[in-house]
Amino acid sequence: MPPASALDLAVDPFYAAPAMRRSPPIATAAFALLAAADARADAPREDPIEVTVHGSTAGGFTSQVSTDTAPREPIDAASMLAELPSVHVSRLGSDGSFATLSIRGSASSQVGVVLAGIPLTSAADPSFDVGSLPLWPGATFRVYRGFAPASLGTTGYLGGVLSVEAPTAALGAHTESWLAAGSFGSLKVRVGDTRKVGSLQLGGGFFASRSDGDFTYDLADPVTGKLTERTRTNAGHVAVGGIERVALERPWGSVGALVYADTRRLGVPGSAAYTTEFTRLSTSRVVVGADASIHTGATGAVRLLAWGRRETSTLDDPRRELDATHTTSTSSETLATGLSAGWRGRPHPSLTVDVRVDARAERFAPNAGDHGLLTLPALRLAGGGGAEIEWRPADRLAITASARLDARRDDAPGSTGFDGKTPLAAPSDLAPSGHLGASYRLADAAVISAHAGALGRPPSFQELYGNGASLVGDAALRPERALSADAGIHGSLGDRRVSFAYEVVSFVTSARDLITFVPLGIATFKAENIDHALLAGAEVSASFTARGLRSQVSYTFLFTRNQSGNPISDGRPLVGRPQQDLAYDASYRFGPVGLRYGLDALEGVTANTEGTLVIPPRILHGAGASIELPLRIPVRLGFDAENLADLRTIPIASHQRGSVTLPYSEFPGFPLPGRSFWLTLRVQTAR
């Protein structure tokens, strides 16, 4: 395939050619998958929205979804997140496959992910695989679109932050079991329990899933154009894990601990035209945290957090199906740890202050003796401080400010430049980020909010040091920067019987110093700061409930422009970003029976940097039914179907042949399944 363009790499590293990104094996597998086909993009959806602003008002606009509030059956985390305003999820295959997350048109590497305040995104590979994020009963996700509270300890990610909340008994004690069996040999189980035992609050969950991943797809002959049916093989997965949160509540405050662990083994199936049979990827992740909250009088509290994270990844390619020059086994390990301390309180009735300092260290250790990644382990030491202020000079007006200053120092001792002799310097920098905001409540039905500020992302280890083969790093890279602003109105009307809620937001982001890889010869690429991009759009979401009826809609309009100055791509839309994205759900419950209908529509997705190849509009339909069984404990039996029309191919206009029929996919060359079915059983007991 031709080398990836500068825009592909600047906008999203998952458009990179495989030879360029032989990095941690989890990334290696994803990029090798993308390699065998023309690495461009597009995308669909699958779940709910919430239209009111949540969390710290010093952050920006947020959306929230949980397994308890989702209008569709919550099959996986990726499908739940995909229905939120301005959230775009792209998959490499069926349930359990590699999936990337974009917010407001950002690259996947520009979105941070935290679990109970503990960062899950990594300096080794900042693009988080949301396909690996499991669900447990009551799992709740909060998406900060654009601006996130400084108290999260982030470094101002350009796209936003996904915050995963830990299980808690704060909303009541209950035990829940959930089982599902679906198409392509899929089986899932989730078990969760939250309760209070004296002064202890306990919350935990166990999850497991497996799938064969084998489904049929249609592939056109490159010469005749005739469609032939093939079977997707080596696309299965097995995953298991658990999470437990324990907190001791005392009059002076609380102390708590969190343990989260999971492991996966999945096939790496290759592209539609170049499949594999034996390639496997194994990953594991362990996250631990300890926290404390100590009251400082009636108006404030000190908060402390210590955490650690270990991730491993091993790619086995015994037949060298991905790359004949690749070794048969590669592995890597990421170790990270951090501390944070802060105080949140109200020194004055109209003023709320939150200040925080944090420090973290990360070590990425590839198996350098077995393949050409970084020549030696890479290290990152980082620290920062942030503050948030919310001032209410009047009952209806709130003025907010959030600011952070982050410092980092990176090093890969012994690494050299492209000549193999010149030692690479240890890069370091200071990165400010923050924003100002204001909110004015005209009435409950109309609250106006606006925010403006600066965001940034430091370069990853590969961008700094390369991969020891076809990718040349630059230790002098500048962090990606962006100026962003948004403004909107939200509100709600009604009561418990009939209610309506809505949110309308416009946003604009100008990104500079985007990190891209430019050709350096025939098969070698070098990291540089060159590309600029402009992103703007609008987010509209609304919900309506009346008696047994519930209806909600989420619509996003996105305008993107590459401003790199490259004569081929300058002024063109960014690859893989839908111009229009609509999700609609309606459900009705009468007695023990519930019915639902869902619609997902995408339009305006470009598949090449020149902007000449546009994916046709896609509309997917889904439906489901459930019944509450008349038993002693609440039991719900459900049946759900997605992609009812069994969409499996899409005709694409071609200058050479007039029209080309491609498998339905989000990354061209990596087909998605057609119609799928799920049978679910949910047992929930409240105490």
Q: How confident is the model at residue 326 (pLDDT cuts 50, 70, 90)?
A: low
Q: Choose among 88, 110, 53, 33: nearest CA to 448.
A: 53
More confident residue, 607 or 284: 284
Single out the residue of 655, 656, 643, 645 nearest to residue 75, CA to CA: 643
Strand 471-472 relative to strand 525-546, pairing: parallel
Task: Tell me the average pLDDT across 602-627.
Answer: 86
Q: Per-residue pLDDT averaged across 353-382, rounded?
A: 77
What pLDDT does residue 508 have?
96
Work out the pLDDT band at 461, boundaries 50, 70, 90. confident
> Maximum distance among all alpha carbons in the chain?
78
Kindly indicate the confidence band of residue 38, based on its pLDDT and cuts at 50, 70 and 90. Answer: very low
Band of the pLDDT at 23, cuts 50, 70, 90? very low
pLDDT on residue 249: 93
Q: What are phi and psi of 502, to 5 degrees?
A: -150, 165
Question: What pLDDT does 46 receive?
Answer: 33
How many residues comprise the chain? 687
Name the band, by pLDDT with cuts 50, 70 and 90, for residue 654.
low
pLDDT given at position 375:
55
Per the CB < 8 A criterion, the answer to whether 475 and 452 are in contact is no
Give the pLDDT confidence score for residue 660 in this predicted structure. Answer: 74
Tokens of 248: 């001791």
Query: Has residue 20 got a pLDDT over 60?
Result: no
Helix (H/G/I), strand (E/B), else coil: 79: helix
- On the question of pLDDT at 513 being above 60, the answer is yes
Q: What percent of the chain has pLDDT over 70?
A: 85
pLDDT interval class at 306 (50, 70, 90): very high
Summarised one tens digit per residue, pLDDT across range 370-429 is 333 455 688 999 999 989 999 999 999 999 998 999 999 998 887 766 566 777 778 888
- The pLDDT-based confidence of 523 (bands split at 50, 70, 90) is low
Residue 232: per-residue pLDDT: 87
- The CA distance from 52 to 219, in Å, is 44
Nearest CA-CA partner of 647 in 613, 610, 672, 681: 672
pLDDT of residue 518: 75
The rounded distance, in Å, linking the Cα atoms of 619 and 621 is 7
Q: What is the pLDDT of residue 194?
A: 93
Confidence of residue 34 (pLDDT cuts 50, 70, 90): very low
> What pLDDT, on a 0 to 100 scale, did the predictor assign at position 365?
85
Nearest 5°: the CA angle 171, 176, 180 is: 135
Neighbours of 629 (CB within 10 A): 12
Contact 58, 79 (CB under 8 A): no
CA distance 398 to 301: 22
| The predicted structure's pLDDT at residue 467 | 64
- Please give the angle made by the CA atoms of 418, 336 and 525, to the nearest 5 degrees: 20
Candidate CATH numbers 3.90.1150.10, 2.60.260.20, 1.10.260.40, 2.40.170.20; the one for domain 6-686? 2.40.170.20
Structure tokens at 190: 């989730």
pLDDT score of 530 more than 90:
no
Q: Which pTM value belongs to this model?
A: 0.87
Contact 77, 142 (CB under 8 A): no
Confidence of residue 60 (pLDDT cuts 50, 70, 90): confident
Name which of 26-40, 154-168, 612-626, 640-654 the model is least confident about: 26-40
Per-residue pLDDT reduced to its tens digit, 122-135? 887 778 888 888 88
Would you report the helix, strand and coil content of the chain in percent, each value rounded to 5?
5, 55, 35
For residue 226, pLDDT beyond 70: yes
* Contact (CB, 8 A) for 392 and 398: yes
What is the predicted pLDDT for the residue at 214? 86
481 near 384, Cβ under 8 Å? no
Q: Is the pLDDT of residue 564 over 50?
A: yes
Residue 37 has pLDDT above 50, yes or no: no
Residue 197 or residue 565, greater confidence: 197
Mean pLDDT for the chain overall? 83
Query: What is the per-residue burial (b if ≥16 Cβ within 10 Å, else e) of 260-295?
Result: bebebbbbbbbbbeebbeebbbbbbbebbbebbbee
The pLDDT confidence band at residue 450, using thresholds 50, 70 and 90, is very high
Every domain of the chain and the residues it spans:
6-686
Residue 73 CA to residue 56 CA, distance in Å, equals 29
Can you give the C-alpha Rg of the chain in angstroms? 24
Give residue-wise pLDDT tens across range 263-274.
999 998 888 888
Averaged pLDDT, 36-44: 30
| pLDDT tops 80 at residue 5 | no
pLDDT at 368: 47
SS3 state of residue 437: strand
Higher pLDDT, 205 or 471: 205
Most confident of 7-21, 86-100, 467-481: 86-100
Q: Which of 21, 9, 5, 3 is nearest to 107 (CA)?
A: 9
Residue of 636, 469, 580, 558 whose CA lies nearest to 106: 558
pLDDT (0 to 100) of residue 649: 85
Q: Round to whole Å and give the CA distance between 158 and 484.
A: 9
pLDDT given for residue 373 in this prediction: 41
